[in-house]
């Protein structure tokens, strides 16, 4: 079988968070590799290390602080995950869904999910943001879906629709903010692979041929769990490197973290701008 979540697991983790914070978040935010510093601008912040939350998947990856920050951003009550855990770290997919389940239990209506990604689209440059218009769920096609296992009917349907994972109204707000603040927002399809090895040139040519614009190792499972319960999702990739289609350049985790420094101010402006328009 597998490590499937129960309502009791979700309740227990949510209670541990509620004991440590009196914030009642309206929005949830996951900050990907190198993007964690956005959490530093949260006001009235209360931080809880992931290891203090029962059942929470804990990450050991550099560039991921590993704490939940509750507070306010642009006057909106928010719960921010400073760093996330990935499938390649060894957890089962349903367990990786626990953080989103807990954020939903805390009351979020909108979920902003971010990641660092490699550009598969040759027009994209490191340091640019890409708004997710859709995703390619290759892991899901191979059987690795966070909703695998008994369905929690109280939370959502057995066969949830995925025709509009990334909320169109939130996409429109993101475009408005990007235009107003000159953020140069790209758009496209994100694909999540298992990692931790980066792609070969053949992998990348395959992804390009099937319509992928950016590739990474996260986000898709979290977005699926969010949509299962009807939470509105906005997804943003920080392009950290060019995908190596010709096999002549190497991809490293260091360059992914380095790109984060350029991306954090842009991502902060985008998220803050959308929150202002929402509130
Ligand atoms: N491939 C996969 N994941 C990534 C990449 C990449 O090139 N860059 C950042 N995360």
Q: How far apart are the first and last CA of the chain?
A: 43
> Which ranges constitute the DSSP H helices of the chain?
7-20, 93-96, 98-106, 138-141, 168-180, 201-209, 220-228, 253-278
Ligand 1 centroid, distance to 241 Cα (angstroms)? 7
The CATH code of the domain at 7-278 is 3.40.50.1580
Per-domain boundaries in the chain: 7-278
76-91 pLDDT, tens digit per residue, is 999 999 988 999 999 9
Ligand 1 centroid, distance to 227 Cα (angstroms)? 24
- Of 218, 229, 237, 240, the active-site residue reads 218
Nearest Cα residue to 117 out of 239, 35, 265: 239
**Percent of the chain beyond pLDDT 70?**
96
Q: What is the pLDDT of residue 245?
A: 66
Which of the two residues, 246 and 130, has the higher pLDDT score?
A: 130
Does 35 score more than 90 pLDDT? no
**Percent of the chain beyond pLDDT 90?**
78
114-157 pLDDT, tens digit per residue, is 999 999 999 999 999 999 999 999 999 999 999 999 999 999 99
Residues at CB less than 6 angstroms from ligand 1: 116-118, 198-199, 215-217, 240-241, 243, 251, 256
- Alpha-carbon Rg for the chain in angstroms: 17
Q: In which band, very low, low, confident or very high, does the pLDDT at 27 lie, cut at 50, 70 and 90?
A: very high
Average pLDDT score, the chain: 92
- Of 14, 59, 81, 86, the active-site residue reads 86
Q: Is 133 exposed, middle or buried (0-12, 13-18, 19+ CB in 10 A)?
A: middle
Q: What is the pLDDT of residue 249?
A: 72
Query: Which residues, including other chains, have CB under 8 Å from residue 153's CB and lie 6 or more apart?
Result: none
Q: Given ligand 1 and candidates 130, 208, 241, which is best to mutate, with the most ligand atoms within 8 Å of its CB?
A: 241
Ligand 1 centroid, distance to 115 Cα (angstroms)? 9
Q: Is 119 exposed, middle or buried (0-12, 13-18, 19+ CB in 10 A)?
A: buried
């Amino acid at each position: 079988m597998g490590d499937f979540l129960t309502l009791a697991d979700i309740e227990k983790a949510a209670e541990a968070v509620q004991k440590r914070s009196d914030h009642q978040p309206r929005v949830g935010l996951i900050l990907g590799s190198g993007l964690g510093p956005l959490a530093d601008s949260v006001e009235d912040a209360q931080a809880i290390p992931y290891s203090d939350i029962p059942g929470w998947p804990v990450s050991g990856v550099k560039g991921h602080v590993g704490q939940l920050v509750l507070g306010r951003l642009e006057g909106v009550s928010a719960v921010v995950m400073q760093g996330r855990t990935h499938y390649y770290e060894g957890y089962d997919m349903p367990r990786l869904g626990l953080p989103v389940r807990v954020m939903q239990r805390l009351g979020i209506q909108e979920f902003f999910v971010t990641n660092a990604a490699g550009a598969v689209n040759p027009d994209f440059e490191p340091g640019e943001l890409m708004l997710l218009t859709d995703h390619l769920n290759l892991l899901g096609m191979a059987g690795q879906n966070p909703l695998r296992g008994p369905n929690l009917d109280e939370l959502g349907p057995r066969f949830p629709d995925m025709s509009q994972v990334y909320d169109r109204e939130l996409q429109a707000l993101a475009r408005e903010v990007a235009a107003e603040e000159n953020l140069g927002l790209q758009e496209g399809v994100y694909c999540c692979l298992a990692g931790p090895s980066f792609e070969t040139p053949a992998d990348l040519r395959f992804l390009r041929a099937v319509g992928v614009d950016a590739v990474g190792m996260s986000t898709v499972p979290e977005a699926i769990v969010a949509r299962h319960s009807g939470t509105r999702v906005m997804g943003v990739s920080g392009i950290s490197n060019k995908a190596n289609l010709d096999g002549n350049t190497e991809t490293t985790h260091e360059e992914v973290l380095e790109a984060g420094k350029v991306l954090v101010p842009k991502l902060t402006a985008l998220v803050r701008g959308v929150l202002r328009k929402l509130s």
